[in-house]
A and B are shown apart, each in its own frame.
Chain A
Amino acid sequence: DTQEKETITPERAEEAKLKAKYPNLGQKPGGSDFLMKRLQKGQKYFDSGDYNMAKAKMKNKQLPSAGPDKNLVTGDHIPTPQDLPQRKSSLVTSKLAG
């Protein structure tokens, strides 16, 4: 209704929609949470100690065939960066869940 002085701008209307869907949305959207997520892209768990220990062990015995569960990484199976499931940045979910 364009006659009223209290017209809600489209931006504010969209904001209200977002807040209605995600009531726990943080107060600082462009603030440090969002920026920290930007800066942390690419984080994956990898233990170089495990990796080198397993590599050293491998020299002494046969390489075990990959088990049926490829996601299970134990001390005998050399974990490589490709094997590890990418750790989901916790801020992906918290962007909307607060």
Chain B
Amino acid sequence: NKSRPHSRGEYNVYSTFQSHEPEFDYLKSLEIEEKINKIRWLPQQNAAHFLLSTNDKTIKLWKISERDKRAEGYNLKDEDGRLRDPFRITALRVPILKPMDLMVEASPRRIFANAHTYHINSISVNSDHETYLSADDLRINLWHLEITDRSFNIVDIKPANMEELTEVITAAEFHPHHCNVFVYSSSKGTIRLCDMRSSALCDRHSKFFEEPEDPSSRSFFSEIISSISDVKFSHSGRYMMTRDYLSVKVWDLNMENRPVETYQVHEYLRSKLCSLYENDCIFDKFECCWNGSDSAIMTGSYNNFFRMFDRNTRRDITLEASRESSKPRAILKPRKVCTGGKRKKDEISVDSLDFNKKILHTAWHPMENIIAVAATNNLYIFQDKIN
């Protein structure tokens, strides 16, 4: 119905295509995986969809378009494509467009290569719809969507002596409205906001966001779990959200010395850090996202759990994305992790969590309460229940 055009539909695969292939850099003896690190949509300007996808080294602009008509009745060739003998043609006809089965085609329109020495972790389309940034561990580059053979370096944190390296860039994003502003997060849990109007090379930040740490609580794990795995501006552009290993923080861009809100994702893991370090899970990079109105935020966890927080009511919920708990049309049951000794029925104890089932990627529809949750090799789409 018109008031909720997106609800109650079934989602199906629209298009599948191979974006990147594995490569081998012979000069540096480096294997370049085809694994896609980030995908970002361009704002839609016509019937086609455009997206940027990147692996560790190369960014590609893809055009995805629909074809549902085919021209028939050519003069110079048959329906099967064979050329007709021109001397046999006795009459001319005008080709007509006939409907055909919908075909979705993906074609690479631009390939932006050879600008990153280290591994690309972020791409972000600017609000000017002309430029975008790409960030690797140590540098951020600015591109024009039309120009593939040049990019401008706007941030470079590589020390002259690599022995002095203490932090890397973990994520970067353009402000949703101010095309001169972007932020980047670090492995030390800090966020720097830069203004491209102030200088060509934005090595000096305009704002520096860091929550003060209690030095007495510092441990071997402190820096690792403070590393920010994702940073996202709110749609309003007033706030930004960061995800570190155990929590999600909302920052007011006008206040640099601490976040305005902190949400614990899975605090019970703090007493499991030793084994999470041994099995490398402590380095997992979770993403986070806002809903369309910025009133709620969502992020993933382990055991195929994902968490949502309502910023106004301060309520939170844990849900599970798995075949057993999601029959079509069934309402998801809230989950609870038991931390203490006595496990109630339906609760799951921390030691029973499956750390191989991690939800790193989630997305919230910009206008509706529809979410997409990626659980290993399955994609779940959930909708708000209709009363």
Contact = CB atoms under 8 A, between A and B. Distances in A.
A12 B219 contact: yes
Contact of A39 (B137, B224, B273): B137
Interface in A15-59: 15, 17-19, 21, 25, 29-32, 34-36, 38-39, 41-46, 48, 51
Given A29-B224, A36-B165, A39-B118, A11 B56 contact: no
A40 to B, nearest CB: 9
B227 A30 contact: yes
Given A32-B163, A46-B24, A81-B24, A14 B29 contact: no
Interface string B260-300: 00000000001111100110000000000000000000000
B221 interface: yes
B118 to A, nearest CB: 6
B29 A15 contact: no
Nearest to A82: B24
Interface of A is mostly: helix
A36 B167 CA distance: 10
B274 A9 contact: no
A96 interface: yes
B11 interface: no
A15 B277 CA distance: 10
Which of A19, A44, A51: most chain B Cβ within 10 A?
A: A44
A19 B220 CA distance: 9
B319 interface: no
Contacts of A15: 219-221, 273-274
B217 A35 contact: no
A68 interface: no
A59 to B, nearest CB: 19
A29 B220 contact: yes
A10 interface: yes
Nearest to A10: B271
Query: Interface residues of A toward B: which range?
Result: 20 to 34
B24 A96 contact: no
A13 interface: yes
Interface stretch (B30-38, B62-70, B100-108, B191-199): B30-38
B350 to A, nearest CB: 12
A12 to B, nearest CB: 5
Contacts of A11: 217, 219, 221-222, 270, 273
Contacts of A39: 118-119, 137-138, 168
Given A14-B271, A30-B224, A42 B166 contact: no
B166 A46 contact: no
A43 B29 contact: yes
Contacts of A12: 217, 219
Contact of A41 (B119, B162, B272, B273): B119
A41 B28 CA distance: 12
The 5 closest A-B pairs by CB, nearest first: A30-B223, A10-B271, A14-B273, A14-B274, A17-B274
Interface of A: 9-15, 17-19, 21, 25, 29-32, 34-36, 38-39, 41-46, 48, 51, 81, 86, 96
13 contacts: A10-B271, A14-B221, A14-B272, A14-B273, A18-B274, A21-B274, A30-B223, A35-B165, A39-B137, A43-B29, A43-B30, A51-B26, A86-B31
Given A30-B224, A45-B29, A81-B24, 12 more contacts: A10-B270, A14-B271, A30-B223, A30-B227, A32-B166, A35-B166, A35-B167, A42-B33, A48-B26, A51-B26, A81-B31, A86-B31
